[in-house]
Amino acid sequence: MEYVKLSAEGGVGILTIARPAALNALNDQVIRELDQVLDSVDLQQIRCLIVTGEGEKAFVAGADIGQMRGLTKEQGEAFGKLGNDVFRKLETLPIPTVAAVCGFALGGGCELAMSCDIRLCSETAVFGQPEVGLGITPGFGGTQRMARLIGPGRAKELLYTARKVKAPEALSIGLVQGVYPVEQLMEEARKLAQRIAGNAPIAVRAVKKAVNDGLQADMDQAIVIEEKLFGSCFETQDQKNAMGAFVEKRKPEPFVNC
Ligand code: HXC
């Protein structure tokens, strides 16, 4: 892989978009590599995935404008579908994902971050969907995920104006869940990922699925989704061990089910 790297340590994976000369902008090669790297994530080993960009200046400065410039209508749709399919794969990855955003997360970069479960950022982070200033709409899910994450009114204000949002505002509107000095960001992302990775993997994945699938259903259907996933946990050794340890007042055994 030229532009997307994956490393793993102690149950935590780190996926890095690495095209720093173009501020990690997403051309079709980067997106295809991201697709392949997501397919290669070993779910037996990796229990939480951090998604980040190389360097301190940008997480991802958007889809590659030079590459998009000459697209036809059909090619534009195809490029949107390419990114949408991969970002949906990231969003529905069975394990939790944490975006660690340092610097610019614009256009496709903001959309990439919004496809993760949780977003942490540096004090220098800048988010935004500048597309309408370029004569296009967001095309990698921004119109949909931003409205779901921060509500339609706030999202429309940002999407219509192309206004950039700095880290403190991103925190206050719920676009990110934590802001840290640049030098602390990755350590905080690792701490969070390790804490998640320390819980029963099957249960954590079931929570992710329950929240994601439930948000797309009405409440009557959503609670049934939860019931089924809750029930499925009782087929795991981890549930038996952990509850047994509590009742018998002994130290729980490490989780084994992946
Ligand atoms: C291609 C990009 C790029 C991008 C930066 N670069 N962003 N190349 N596509 N989105 C390249 C620059 O051309 C330059 O290359 C190098 O990265 C450094 O960028 P500079 O502009 O020189 O840096 P700076 O002056 O510090 O400005 C940083 C910036 C600016 C504010 C982030 O680069 C910027 O505005 N970028 C575009 C942001 C944007 O509009 N994103 C949304 C794109 S639309 P050279 O070779 O000159 O050194 C989008 C749609 C998604 O994402 C949906 C598609 C379906």
- Structural domains of the chain in order of their starting residue, each with its CATH number: 4-197 (3.90.226.10), 201-247 (1.10.12.10)
Q: Give the C-alpha separation, 201 to 256, whole Å.
A: 8
Give the pocket of ligand 1 (CB within 6 Å). Answer: 22-23, 25, 61-66, 79-80, 83, 104, 106-108, 130-131, 134, 138-140
pLDDT reported for residue 257? 84
Kindly report the backbone phi and psi dihedral angles of residue 158, in degrees, each rounded to the nearest multiple of 5, phi listed first.
Answer: -70, -40
Per-residue model confidence (pLDDT) at position 113 = 99
Pocket test for ligand 1, best of 3, 23, 73 (most atoms within 8 A of CB): 23
Ligand 1 centroid – CA 21 distance (Å): 10
CA of 57 to the centre of ligand 1 (A): 11
pLDDT in tens, 176-220: 999 999 999 999 999 999 999 999 999 999 999 999 999 999 999
Token duo for residue 65: 């404008």
Q: Catalytic residue at 226?
A: no
**188 within 8 A of 125, measured Cβ to Cβ:** no
Tokens matching residue 134: 């370029």
pLDDT tens digit sequence for 90-128 = 999 999 999 999 999 999 999 999 999 999 999 999 999
User: What are the φ and ψ backbone dihedral angles of 124, each rounded to 5 degrees?
Assistant: -90, 0
* Residues 112 and 93: beta-carbon distance below 8 Å: no
pTM listed for this prediction: 0.98
Mean pLDDT, the chain, integer: 98
